[in-house]
Amino acid sequence: MATDVHGPVTTTGSSASAAVRVAGLSRTFDGRRVIDGLELTVRPGEFVALLGRSGCGKSTLLKILAGLDRDIDGTVFVPRRKATAFQAPRLMPWKKVWRNVLLGLPDKPERAVAERALEEVGLSHRADAWPKTLSGGEAQRASLARALVREPDLLLLDEPFGALDALTRIKAQRLVGELWQRRGCAVLLVTHDVEEAVLLADRVLVMDDGVIAHEAEIDLPRPRDIADPRFARIRAGLLDRLGVDATAEAA
Ligand SMILES: Nc1ncnc2c1ncn2[C@@H]1O[C@H](COP(=O)(O)OP(=O)(O)OP(=O)(O)O)[C@@H](O)[C@H]1O
């Protein structure tokens, strides 16, 4: 797997055993250290969810991994083939859906490439639609198709279901779980939803004080059942870590 290395400190050695390797990462805004010596490894093909209170630096970390923010200290290894999907689908309104899917790809692929990705997310019937005519869930699926055509080794998802209604959200979560299992790429999902994290991830991380403050391996079989008492226990443990009283929340 080809890797991108960024950061002022260049570490030698192979990262073939990891899809992401972050060492001593810090990011400061206006004199405030939002990320402060963070360490993180994601294994190839691993699904990792990242939780943390609002403003703790989750999106900042994702932007750094995406290569959109390089004003950092520390070292970051990520695969060259990576793709992102954010809460806002960021489709270009003047391009039809299939052209949006291919946007930014270097070697002008054929329409069939976009159609295959749209098929994978159940949106081939909307290939010729204009973005403004899509529903929220459809736009998010188009955004996922745009990520998939990049054939990523690492998929970075920042609250991709945050703006969706409950039913569409459940469908989108299932779709991402299926795509991950089919594609075998590593996924790093930023979410506020503890249940979503436990449903989808191999490992859930909690970010606090600029570092990964806690992690939980989720060794429940898939597909996961939120009614399973083990699910409830893991969920309660994570809520506790986040400072949320699970009993008050359930009341
Ligand atoms: N470009 C920037 N300039 C100044 N401050 C920034 C910038 N980007 C992020 N921050 C600050 O860094 C902190 C972390 O922001 P970030 O968006 O990473 O948090 P987050 O954990 O993703 O929050 P949320 O869960 O609410 O989306 C916040 O206090 C934010 O104001």
pLDDT given for residue 12 in this prediction: 33
Atom of ligand 1 nearest to the CA of 190: 22
Beta-ladder partners of 157:
85, 189
Atom of ligand 1 nearest to the CA of 27: 12
Same domain, residue pair 101 and 24:
no
Q: What percent of the chain has pLDDT over 90?
A: 80
pLDDT given for residue 115 in this prediction: 96
CA distance 248 to 228: 20
Residue 237 has which token pair? 């443990």
133-146 pLDDT tens trace: 999 999 999 999 99
- Yes or no: say if 183 and 31 are a contact pair by the CB < 8 Å rule: no
Does the CB atom of residue 89 touch ligand 1 within 6 A? Answer: no
Ligand 1 center to residue 82 CA distance, Å?
22
Ligand 1 center to residue 10 CA distance, Å?
26
Domains contained in the chain, number = 2
Does the CB atom of residue 71 touch ligand 1 within 6 A? Answer: no
**Residue 66: inside a domain:** yes
Residue 71: domain span: 3-81+152-250
Same domain, residue pair 121 and 32:
no
Ligand 1 center to residue 168 CA distance, Å?
27
The pLDDT-based confidence of 6 (bands split at 50, 70, 90) is: low
pLDDT given for residue 2 in this prediction: 59
Same domain, residue pair 168 and 222:
yes
148-202 pLDDT tens trace: 999 999 999 999 888 788 898 898 899 999 999 999 999 999 999 999 999 999 9
3-class secondary-structure state, position 132? helix
Does the CB atom of residue 247 touch ligand 1 within 6 A? Answer: no
- Yes or no: say if 97 and 123 are a contact pair by the CB < 8 Å rule: yes
* pLDDT exceeds cutoff 90 at 245: no
CA distance 98 to 24: 40
Please, which contacts does 167-171 make with residues 24 or more away whose CB atoms are closer than 8 Å? 168/135, 168/136, 168/137, 171/137
DSSP code string of 216-227:
EE----SS--TT
Same domain, residue pair 215 and 236:
yes
Residue nearest to atom 20 of ligand 1 (CA): 55
Same domain, residue pair 141 and 159:
no
* pLDDT exceeds cutoff 90 at 58: yes
3-class secondary-structure state, position 125? helix
Ligand 1 center to residue 49 CA distance, Å?
18
Q: What is the ipTM of this complex?
A: 0.98
CB-side exposure of 12: number of CA atoms within 13 Å?
0
168-179 pLDDT tens trace: 889 889 999 999
Domain boundary among 128, 151, 174: 151
Domain boundary among 131, 151, 171: 151
Same domain, residue pair 239 and 145:
no
pLDDT given for residue 165 in this prediction: 87
Same domain, residue pair 64 and 158:
yes
- Yes or no: say if 101 and 149 are a contact pair by the CB < 8 Å rule: yes
Neighbours of 89 (CB within 10 A): 20
Same domain, residue pair 177 and 204:
yes
The pLDDT-based confidence of 246 (bands split at 50, 70, 90) is: low
Closest by alpha carbon to 194, among 86, 51, 61?
51
Does the CB atom of residue 56 touch ligand 1 within 6 A? Answer: yes
**Residue 126: inside a domain:** yes
pTM: 0.91
How would you classify the pairing of strands 73-79 and 20-29?
Answer: antiparallel
Neighbours of 29 (CB within 10 A): 11
**Residue 215: inside a domain:** yes
- Yes or no: say if 164 and 136 are a contact pair by the CB < 8 Å rule: yes
pLDDT given for residue 100 in this prediction: 96
Between 146 and 87, name the one with better pLDDT.
146
Q: Which helix (H) or strand (E) holds 75?
A: strand 73-79
Same domain, residue pair 210 and 133:
no
- Yes or no: say if 141 and 97 are a contact pair by the CB < 8 Å rule: no
Ligand 1 center to residue 232 CA distance, Å?
30
**Residue 143: inside a domain:** yes
Atom of ligand 1 nearest to the CA of 61: 18
Same domain, residue pair 44 and 64:
yes
Does the CB atom of residue 80 touch ligand 1 within 6 A? Answer: no
pLDDT given for residue 17 in this prediction: 78
CATH code, 223: 3.40.50.300
**Residue 86: inside a domain:** no
Closest by alpha carbon to 72, among 3, 4, 7?
7
Distances (CA, A) of 77 to 5, 64, 170, 206: 5, 10, 32, 21
Atom of ligand 1 nearest to the CA of 192: 25
Domain boundary among 101, 118, 151: 151
Same domain, residue pair 142 and 130:
yes
Does the CB atom of residue 59 touch ligand 1 within 6 A? Answer: yes
Same domain, residue pair 75 and 159:
yes
Does the CB atom of residue 54 touch ligand 1 within 6 A? Answer: yes
